[in-house]
Each structure stands twice: as C-alpha cells, then as structure tokens.
C-alpha cells in the first residue's frame, strides 16, 4: 500500500519535521511513502515522488516546507480534481496526510466525497485558528520568534525612551498577539476578540513614564487594522517618540522549536495509526487537554474558533495588577 503527504496553504515551522517523521513511520510499516510537491497544485500537475530516508534526513531543523506549498483555485473545479485523482490512482495511492489549515481541509473533503481518497488533516498554521484544537503546528516557533523580536525591541526602546508598536500576524485571530502581549509585559494589547480602553491606558502609562519607565510597548494583531491608531495615540496623545515594527513573514520561518518538532512527531504517529482504520475517512487530528482526538470536517466547519476566556483572563489579570 502507498500513502502520500503534502503541505498546503501557508507554510510554518514544524512542517519539515512532520515530513521526516512521516517517511520514517511509513517505511517502518513496510509501506511506500510518497511526497506531493507544491501542495494542491502539485497534486494536479503530478508532482508526486516516492520518498526515501535520504530525502528527509537533513530537514528536521529547517523552517518552511521543503516539498513546497500552494493555494489552488483550480482544485475547486471538478476536472482538475479528477486529474489529481488519476495521478494518485496510477501510483496506487489511496490515502493522504495533509498539513495545512481549514481551507486545505475543506478542499480535501470535497476530494474525498468525489473519489474516496481517505485523508487526515494535521493543523499547521501560526494563526492557531482551527476549531477544536488548542494547538496548531508552527505556533510555538512563531511565538518564540516574536518573543525574541520584542526582547530586542525593548532594548533599543529603553535606550531612547521610546514607545514601540509591534504588529503580529494571525489573519482574523489575535492569538499570537495576545500570548505575546502577556509574555512580554506589553502595556497595550489590541486583538479582534477583546475591547481596549485607550483613555484608561493613557492615565496608567503617563504615571509609569513620570515615575521613570523608559519604554512603552503595544502589541497589535494585524486583523484589527489598528496599528496606525495606536501609533497616533502614543505620538500625539502621549507625546512619546514612537516607532512601528511590523514583524511580517519572519514569524512563519525559523528553526522549529523542540515543542513543534515533538508535536510534529505526535501528530504524524496518531494520524497514520488512524488513517489505516476502517472507519476513518476524512478527519482532522486535534490536540486538546494534553490528548489527541479526531474531528470531522463538517463538525469543524460548523463551529467558529475563538480564543479561550482563560487566555483573555490572563491578560486582564495582568492589566489589573499593573493598574
């Protein structure tokens, strides 16, 4: 039997360790592993190659994905899905592991309904916005990159008594910004999921600055589109020398952390075990309360991801302690 793996949508650290573990686990089962290059587009264009250990031995420490990724409008047209199915059929592949986000999973669900290709989706997105799972592959590395960047910004900010506005990625999710604000001690956190009060913050920050605080930090989620507003608040209302740093795509890259590598192995092992069970069809593996489970695409699609009240409570607690 043959089974393939692909990465789809946005890349993230942890994908390469997952690819390596996939090939190792499949070979240990005396099965044939295949790599699908360039995501859904590669599936259509038959960029599918048999994998060996030599293909994956040197990749565990690399960020991104060595097999490439893509987003594909073509895949949502039946004729191209049929072409992708025929490519898999020629190689005897009837199972696929997919690392990606909800868009990739929905595409593969349509593919399964058309042609019966079983798949397991592994949540791999720094946005951490897949319903049902507390953790997506790549999040820990992204958070550590943000932490390192903010620590460096704090050094220069304190040297010149400046305010810094740091914009993080995350699409419509404020997860990266919230966790980074909590763990960096930011005075202001602006995310879609939580209101903020600049007037109250103005009094608090002015008191801190008057008492000798040499820098002020705000973390803003890109989905709020409030970076300019917070910059204007610091510069015009607070009369602070202010700079903006947009971290951008450096948050997606970088050397995968130990936790992301370990979780990649866990996700792969449980996904492979599951996909060979008779009642497995098209599902997504999730990690919740320190254990692994599987949810259907329909169930995930019928719910909306939101940041837990506990995490928002941590920030509000920290805020209250500063007041």
Catalytic sites, residue numbers: 127
Structure tokens at 37: 């290059």
Closest CA to 141 of 36, 45, 263: 263
Structure tokens at 131: 């319903």
- Rg of the chain (C-alpha set): 22
301 burial (CB, 10 Å; 0-12 / 13-18 / 19+) is: middle
Alpha carbon distance 17, 256 (integer Å): 8
Q: Which residue has the tokens 């997105």?
A: 125
Q: How many CB atoms sit inside 10 A of residue 183's CB?
A: 15
Reported in sequence order, the residue ranges of the chain that DSSP labels E, i.e. its strands, are 2-7, 32-36, 48-50, 93-100, 118-123, 162-168, 188-190, 216-221, 241-246, 282-288, 291-296
Q: How many CB atoms sit inside 10 A of residue 118's CB?
A: 19
Alpha carbon distance 168, 176 (integer Å): 7
């Amino acid at each position: 039997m043959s089974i393939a793996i692909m990465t789809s949508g946005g890349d993230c650290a942890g994908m390469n360790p997952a690819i390596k573990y996939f090939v190792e686990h499949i070979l240990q089962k005396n099965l044939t592993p295949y790599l699908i290059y360039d995501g859904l587009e590669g599936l259509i264009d038959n960029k599918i190659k048999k994998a060996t250990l030599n293909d994956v031995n040197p990749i565990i420490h690399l960020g991104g994905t060595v097999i490439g990724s893509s987003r594909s409008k073509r895949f949502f047209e039946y004729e191209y899905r049929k072409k992708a199915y025929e490519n898999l059929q020629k190689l005897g592949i009837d199972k696929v592991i997919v690392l990606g986000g909800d868009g990739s999973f929905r595409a593969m669900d349509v593919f399964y309904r058309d042609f019966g290709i079983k798949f397991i989706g592994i949540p791999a997105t720094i946005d951490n916005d897949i319903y049902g799972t507390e953790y997506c592959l790549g999040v820990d590395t992204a958070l550590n990159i943000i932490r390192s960047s903010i620590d460096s910004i704090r050094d220069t900010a304190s040297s010149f008594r400046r305010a810094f506005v740091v914009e993080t990625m995350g699409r419509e999710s404020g997860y990266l910004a919230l966790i980074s604000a909590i763990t960096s001690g930011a005075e202001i956190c602006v995310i879609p999921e939580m209101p903020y009060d600049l007037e109250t913050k103005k009094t608090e920050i002015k008191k801190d600055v008057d008492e000798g605080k040499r820098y002020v930090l705000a973390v803003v989620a890109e989905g709020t589109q409030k970076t300019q507003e917070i910059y204007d608040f610091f510069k015009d209302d607070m009369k602070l020398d202010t700079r903006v740093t947009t971290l951008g795509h450096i948050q997606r890259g970088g050397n995968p952390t130990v936790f992301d590598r370990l979780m990649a192995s866990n996700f792969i092992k449980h996904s492979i075990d599951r996909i060979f069970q008779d009642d497995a069809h098209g599902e997504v593996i999730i990690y919740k309360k320190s254990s692994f489970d599987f949810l259907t695409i329909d169930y995930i699609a019928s719910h909306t991801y939101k940041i837990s009240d506990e995490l928002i409570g941590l920030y509000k607690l920290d805020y209250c302690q500063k007041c």
